[in-house]
Structure 1
Amino acid sequence: MRVKKGTVLFESFNGKDVSDNPFAIYKQLINDHPSDRQRYYFSVKPSEYQKLSKQYPDIQFVKRFTPGWVKYIARAEYWVMNSRMPKWWRKNKQTVFIQTWHGTPLKKLGVDIDNVEIPGSSTAEYHQEFVTEAARWDYLIAPNQYSHDIFKSAFKYSGQFLDIGYPRNDVLYTGNTAENIAQIKQALFGFQPKQIIMYAPTWRDDSFSEQGKYKFEMPFDLKKFFENVDSNTLLVIRPHYLVKDRIDITGFEDRVKILADVDINQLYLITDLLITDYSSVMFDFANLERPMLFYPYDLAHYRDQLRGFYFKYDQANLPGPMAENQADFYQALNEFTQVGSFDNFSHNLQAFHQKFCSWENGQASEKVSHLILQGGKRHE
């Protein structure tokens, strides 16, 4: 079957949402060539179709893995996705697959993971799935040289890289204005919080009680947290979607907001301090050159038993202080509250920004849009 010229099928996180790099590219294409809107489709899970159709009435959706989906996925000229496609679906030879991926890796990835802790999958099977999948990608977006090198190794990727930065991060440059930040706060909260601290922990592969059932425990006490921050501080928790309903904020509903589904770039823009552990959010947030606090309370287990890291995760290499226990965590919070920054880490933050954000300039989406509208480079 011949592809339909100009048809683009987008998919984000296996059809779970409309977000991330694919959505940024979609919006840029609409902006650059609005008359082609009817050629662009988002593939979404049937369970999410109703919700997303209401949320994005102007987007054309197709229900993933349904008979109707087949005619679009089979004949699209471009796929733009940030995760893997099932190996049982064979790509049309004329279709150009633009893989955006979804983050700069700190944790070991793909074939670099020595021991895979995922229910129902062996390490060897997991490795081979990555290699087989990556062989289908015609283009792979890299946000920085560090990621370029790791993707090449972890995916055994030999295709063409787009060394342009992440499209999803463009808004951190184009939207970083006082007016836009105020609008986001108003839309999310209905008022203007004086200070926003976001806690965005990583997903832990072994955070399940049994297959399909996941758990989450707050690693710090909310009462003590608020004793060590400004009285007008709002805490935003950004959890993995699988555990968003398992977080207990009883008694602090007015001061804590759990926002698992909001565009995370909107949250970056309004955040004054990011608290994380091993999540790739650190690399994206670094574009804003704002303070970060690292709270790896289970560092030894995570680093040595679960995934392993690509670079040395310690005070010397991180762009902010690292607290491995609650006492140090509250002390760091108190320091931030008193000073408004972590002065001892200004050099670290600058070096971190240079290493991981030097390709970012707010133009990545334009470059991918241009590639698609110009017909790209087909790999026969």
Structure 2
Amino acid sequence: MRNRIINFLKTNQNILEICWKIAKIFLKICSLFVKIDSKTILFASFGGRKYDDSPKAIYDEICLREEFKDYKLIWAFVNPNKYRIPRGEKVKIDTYSFFKILLQAKIWVSNSGMDRGIELERKGIIKVETWHGTPLKKIGGEENKNSLKRIENLVEKDKKTIRCAQSEYDREIFSRIFNAEKSSILLSDLPRNDKLLKYTQEEIKNIKKELNIDINKKVILYTPTYREYLINENSETYIAPPINLKKWKAKLGKEYILLIRAHYAVNAALEIKDDDFVKNVSDYYSLNNLYIVSDMMISDYSSTYFDYSILSRPMYCFAYDLEEYKEKRGLYLELDKSLPCKINKTEDELIKDILNSNYEEKSEKTYRFHKKYSPYAGNASKIVVDEILKKLKEK
């Protein structure tokens, strides 16, 4: 029911705008009576749907720091009972308790906005909005069609919110769509990616065991993004790539295992029955773990290209609906000029590309892509937490 309501509001902009305005007025009045607690930090990942990504990496770093030993750490979740956290408390998002803590917390840490789109201005708080990936597809109101566009008369640029960028490429986009000063956007990469440069072979072995992956086979990770204009009869977003998994298994099954990870905003993905070749890992708790155990990755218009490139492993593009996607959503980059791989529009082309590729050559192309679009990877969590401490000292 919650997803249906959210999808309905996303596709009915006028109603959503009214809801936002009412909520903003209500919270502004409430803020007059709620004092900020200087030692409370509120965390949320993907609107409370996850316990992962950059907010989790920042949380882990904060838990290690002596400076935060007496801070109250609170995670907001859609389903708090689903997660166990080693330190702190949990709150159900979009409830009275959540909005009360939102007004009280000195520090907000999120990857897609903490105030539920209300754009609440609370003097004295520190906002950390890492975002959740370098944009290949258009975002933030710059989409071509079928996406929410909030246009307001913004004059003064945001200098206070702590944001992260992987390179000058996404820093430029973020400064524009968030109306932010470039200097406030850290060239740090994303905290979630720190781990990609620190994994061990023992970890790979353990993750494969956890996922029941044959250690003698190569692993292909497929990470298709969502199409917000594809809505089923239940008002759910879905994807339906033109693939025949029996064909994939016949061609690739002896040497490879396929992991399919749908975008977090997809409610209804392929109906996949796990077997010894294909596994649906859309609900698996750690995307990084999937990156780490994969020998190569397939995607389409996803930010996963920028993250996975840090590993310098082969990447493939399966853009079966490229013209439709460019028309309805829009892309910042020309795929054939920017990605370190061919643009395959059919599954036969893609399978042939995988079977005929030189692993070392493709890895080298990915490495060059990484050096262009994610050259700062490795230490983002420390950089962000240091920036939080810096702001805490400011008066």
> Which one of 15, 33, 43 corresponds to residue 10 of structure 1?
43
Question: Residue 81 of structure 2: which of 44, 50, 56 is its match?
Answer: 50
**8 Å CA contact 1:224, 1:330 repeated in 2:** no
Superposition deviation, residue 210 in structure 1: 4.3
Q: How much does 1:375 deviate?
A: 4.7
2:208 corresponding residue in structure 1: 185
Aligned to 1:355: 372
Which residue number in structure 2 is paired with residue 253 of structure 1?
275
Change (3 A) 1:371 1:152: closer
Give the aligned partner of residue 310 of structure 2.
Answer: 287
1:324 equivalenced with 2:341 (yes/no): no
Cα distance in 2 for partners of 1:34, 1:377 equals: 12
Deviations 1:99-125 (A, max 9, x none): 11111011112132233x14xx5x4xx
Distance apart, 1:96 and its partner CA: 0.8
- Write the distance in 2 (CA, Å) between the matches of 1:127 and 1:114: 14
**1:66-93, Cα deviation, whole Å (9 max, x unpaired):** 2222332112111111113334463421
The equivalent residue for 1:80 is: 109
Count, aligned residues: 359
Please give the alpha-carbon distance, in whole angstroms, between the structure 1 residues aligned to 2:338 and 2:119: 41
Give the CA deviation at 1:255.
Answer: 2.0
Aligned-pair distance for 1:188? 2.4
Provide the C-alpha distance between the structure 1 equivalents of 2:388 and 2:259, rounded to a whole number of angstroms. Answer: 37
CA contact (8 A) 2:163 2:186 kept: yes
- CA gap of 1:322–1:368, structure 2 versus 1, over 3 A, is same
Name the CA distance, whole Å, in 2 between partners of 1:44 and 1:180.
28
Read off the aligned partner of 1:21 and give its amino acid letter: S
Moved more, 193-202 or 265-274: 193-202
- Whether contact under 8 Å (2:175, 2:185) holds in the other structure is no
Pair 1:171 & 2:192 matched: no
Report deviation, 1:272: 0.4
Q: Deviations over 1:8-45 (max 9, x none)?
A: 11111111111111111001111223962751111112
Q: Distance in 2 between matches of 1:150 and 1:77?
A: 28
Q: How does 1:128-207 map to 2 (within 5 A)?
A: 128=152, 135=158, 138-158=161-181, 160-175=184-199, 177-189=200-212, 192=215, 194-207=217-230
After TM superposition, the structure 1 stretch with the greater mean CA deviation from structure 2, 144-153 or 189-198, is 189-198
| Alpha-carbon distance change, 190 to 228 in structure 1, aligned in 2, over 3 angstroms | closer
Distance in 1 between the 2:304 and 2:51 partners?
Answer: 18
| SS at 2:98 equivalent | helix
**Cα offsets for 1:150-206 (capped at 9, x unmatched):** 11122222371122111000000111x211111111122275352111111011111
Structure 2 residue runs of 5 or longer lacking an equivalent are: 1-33
Is contact 2:126-2:391 (8 Å) kept?
no
Cα distance change, pair 288–105 in 1 and its aligned pair in 2 (3 A) = same
C-alpha separation in 1, matches of 2:138 and 2:315 = 22
- What TM-score does the superposition give when structure 1 sets the normalisation length? 0.86
Once the two structures are superposed, residues 305-328 of structure 1 have per-residue CA deviations (whole angstroms, 9 ceiling, x without a partner) of: 1121112211x4211222112221
Which residue identity does 1:364 align to in structure 2? A
Q: Which moved more, 1:58-67 or 1:21-30?
A: 58-67
Paired-residue identity, %: 30
Say if 1:154 and 1:375 are closer, same or farther in 2 by CA, change over 3 A.
Answer: closer
Structure 1 residues 373, 156: closer, same or farther in 2, change over 3 A?
closer
Distance 2:96 2:171 in 1: 36
Q: 1:151 to 1:188 in 2, by over 3 A?
A: same
Provide the C-alpha distance between the structure 1 equivalents of 2:133 and 2:111, rounded to a whole number of angstroms: 9
Instruction: Name the SS for the 1:189 alignment partner.
Output: coil
- Which has the larger displacement, 151-160 or 318-327? 151-160
Superposed CA RMSD in Å reads 2.7
1:152/1:204 CA distance change after superposition, 3 Å: same
Amino acid at match of 2:49: K
Kept after mapping to 1: 8 A contact 2:227/2:238: no
The question of whether the paired residues in 1 share the 8 Å contact of 2:166 and 2:188 is answered with yes
- Work out which of the residue numbers 290, 300, 304 in structure 1 matches 2:323: 300
Q: Is the 8 A contact 1:44 1:61 kept in 2?
A: yes
Amino acid at match of 1:370: D
Residues 162, 326 of structure 1: alpha-carbon distance in 2 compared, 3 angstrom cutoff: same
Aligned position for 1:26: 59
User: What is the identity, as a one-letter code, of the residue corresponding to 2:287?
Assistant: I
Residues 119-158 of structure 1 show CA distances to partners (whole Å, capped at 9, x for unaligned) of xx5x4xx3449x69x8596221112111101111222223
Structure 2 CA distance for partners of 1:35 and 1:349, relative to 1, 3 Å: closer
Alpha-carbon distance in structure 2 between the residues aligned to 1:193 and 1:244: 33
Give, in whole Å, the separation in 1 of the partners of 2:52 and 2:88: 12
Aligned to 2:185, the other structure's residue is in SS state: strand
Equivalent pair of 1:41/1:59 in contact (CA under 8 Å): yes
